[in-house]
């Protein structure tokens, strides 16, 4: 692992715990549509594939018009409240500072603008060379490797010199398809057996443990 020049981090469930703000935004939409609300504990199983999928799961049965209405209400709330309850996981800023000599990127399936704003709002922008969210006009979302390859090209890094750190199978599969090493985090939104089945190169229980593997 000493040859790693670039670390790509997922956002939700890896760098930050955003389930409470996401749940509040979803419930704002559901409440205004007269739908049953969701619990905070339901959110980890519902995130990872973008806002559309999150709202589809929260709504259950819906028409295209209802999904569109939910999306407008979600965006209305979330655009003003995305860091009310969202915070870094323990050890994240310290670990990012530790790797100040390596290139670093954030790559999330969250809307690009929200990804950039959350990283900025939590004071983490200074640590990253690239901050990327979902940009369908440029690349397909994870588990497609397109976004990972886009980052490698932008930073002129070979796949064997990069690693992806994330909490979902989407992160692991996208990185594996692009030829990267992979690190899964157990403290995020996916159960340990699910992560192990995806066969990451290694797994950590705390962000600080990344130092032990990458030096």
Q: Give per-residue pLDDT as tens, 88-120.
A: 999 999 999 999 999 999 999 998 999 999 999
Q: From the centroid of its chain, how far is CA 192? A: 17
Catalytic sites, residue numbers:
10
Q: From the centroid of its chain, how far is CA 178? A: 17
Q: What does the CA dihedral 42, 54, 167, 7 come to, rounded to 10 degrees? A: -150
Domain count across the chain? 2
Query: Is residue 100 domain-shared with residue 67, that is, in the same domain?
Result: no
List strand residue ranges (DSSP E) for 123-187, in order: 130-134, 162-166, 181-185
Domain CATH for 167:
3.40.50.1000
Coil vs helix vs strand at 57: helix
1 is a domain residue: no
Q: Give per-residue pLDDT as tens, 161-202.
A: 999 999 999 999 999 999 999 999 999 999 999 999 999 999
pLDDT value for 61: 92
Coil vs helix vs strand at 31: helix
165 is a domain residue: yes
How many Cβ atoms are within 10 Å of 211's Cβ, its own excluded?
A: 14
Residue 175 belongs to what domain range? 6-17+87-214
């Amino acid at each position: 692992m000493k040859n790693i020049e670039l670390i790509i981090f997922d956002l939700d469930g890896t760098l930050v715990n955003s389930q409470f703000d996401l749940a509040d935004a979803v419930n704002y939409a559901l409440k205004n549509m007269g739908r049953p609300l969701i619990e905070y504990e339901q959110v980890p199983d519902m995130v990872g594939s973008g806002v559309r999928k999150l709202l589809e799961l929260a709504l259950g049965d819906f028409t295209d018009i209802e999904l569109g209405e939910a999306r407008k209400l979600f965006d209305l709330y979330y655009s003003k409240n995305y860091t009310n309850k969202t915070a870094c996981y323990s050890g994240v800023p310290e670990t990012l500072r530790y790797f100040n000599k390596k290139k670093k990127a954030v790559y999330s399936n969250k809307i690009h603008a929200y990804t950039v704003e959350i990283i900025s709002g939590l004071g983490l922008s200074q640590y990253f060379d690239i901050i990327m969210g979902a940009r369908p006009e440029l690349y397909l979302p994870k588990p497609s490797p397109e976004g990972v390859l886009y980052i490698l090209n932008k930073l002129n890094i070979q796949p064997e010199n990069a690693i992806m750190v994330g909490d979902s199978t989407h992160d692991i599969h996208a990185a594996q398809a692009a030829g990267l090493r992979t690190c899964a985090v157990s403290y995020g939104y996916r159960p340990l057996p699910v992560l192990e089945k995806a066969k990451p190169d290694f797994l950590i229980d705390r962000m600080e443990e990344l130092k032990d593997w990458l030096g």
